[in-house]
Structure 1
Amino acid sequence: MLHDTVARCRELGLRRTWALEELLKRLIANSKPQTLADLAEAPELKDRCDKATIFRLLVRLEKHGILRRLGLHDRSAYYTLIEPGEHSDYLICTQCGVIETLDIACPVEALEARISKESGFKKLYHELEFFGVCPKCL
């Protein structure tokens, strides 16, 4: 998966650097969305990359569609890798900001296929986030 993701980055004009590869390895190894702080404190990155470098990489990867940014606007952003042909939907707590992967069949996939068929749009995708209050915050 790392090889494929690096190849996607290169196709989009991103330089292959040690920091880019280590950041991608970290995102691949941990499937849960991670904050800038989570990534910057990772042992693989902590001593060799500063937060500013990691942040710039995250912004570029998001801009090029390699990463998805999640979270509430007034809280820390969480980043997760986008895998071509796959997606995850999320539950986000408006009280504490916890983010969980929605573990049910995506309710929008059939609608997406119908929209694609009827509109003629190709390579259609969606990002689905539900906001509410988690059980711990109730």
Structure 2
Amino acid sequence: MDAELPSLIQRCRSLGLRRTKALEQLFATLLESPRPMTLSELAESPRLADQCDKATVFRLLQRLENHAIIRRLGLHERAAYFTLLLPDRHHDYLICTSCGSIEAIKAPCPVHALEEEIRESTGFQNLYHELEFFGTCPACA
């Protein structure tokens, strides 16, 4: 986490976003989390609960999502989950269409080779992909 936080802050600065304590605490919370987190989980986390209210966390998440720093996951009618988009940390997810639970897929991503081929053939820079599988989890089945 120590090396990733300054890199994230620098990315924000290069995009014209202000460095605030809430921004730093949001990044630290997401970096420490083993899974994506909901808005409520983030707003109630020990690092952010005393820093700002839920509406501020939501606005911050929206701004970061618009700048492709945060990825929003989940079903539209369910609570959204948020995770960082980091160049060296990639996860694909399984999402339950019944309860909305989300878990990272613990298998190699089959799309990385295709992503590299597309990058080379098109010249696109900063290329990334998002892969989500939807189904019914064992608990709901």
TM-score between both structures, scaled by the size of structure 2? 0.92
Match of 1:28 in 2: 31
Percent identity, aligned pairs only, is 59
Q: Which of 122, 125, 129 is residue 132 of structure 2 equivalent to?
A: 129
- 1:65-89 deviation per Cα after TM superposition (whole angstroms, max 9, x unaligned): 1100000010111000111243210
Which residue of structure 1 lines up, in the alignment, with residue 13 of structure 2?
10
C-alpha contact (below 8 Å) 2:97/2:135 kept by paired residues: yes
- What is the CA-CA distance between 1:19 and the residue it aligns to? 0.8
1:68 and 2:71 correspond: yes
Q: Tell me the number of residue pairs that the alignment of Structure 1 and Structure 2 aligns.
A: 138
Q: How big is the shift at 1:45?
A: 1.3
Kindly report which structure 2 residues correspond to 1:56-95, keeping only aligned pairs within 5 A, or say none: 56-95=59-98
RMSD of aligned Cα (Å) = 1.3
Residue 44 of structure 2 corresponds to residue 41 of structure 1:
yes
Q: Give the partner amino acid of 1:9.
A: C
Unpaired segments ≥5 residues, structure 1: none
Q: Distance in 1 between matches of 2:34 and 2:16?
A: 25
- Matched-pair contact (CA < 8 Å) for 2:21–2:51: no
Structure 1 residue 4, shift from structure 2 partner: 1.0
The one-letter code matched in structure 1 to 2:124 is F
Question: With structure 1 as the length reference, what TM-score do the two structures score?
Answer: 0.94
Q: Is 1:111 paired with 2:114?
A: yes
Tell me how far apart the structure 2 counterparts of residues 5 and 37 of structure 1 sit (CA, whole Å). 22
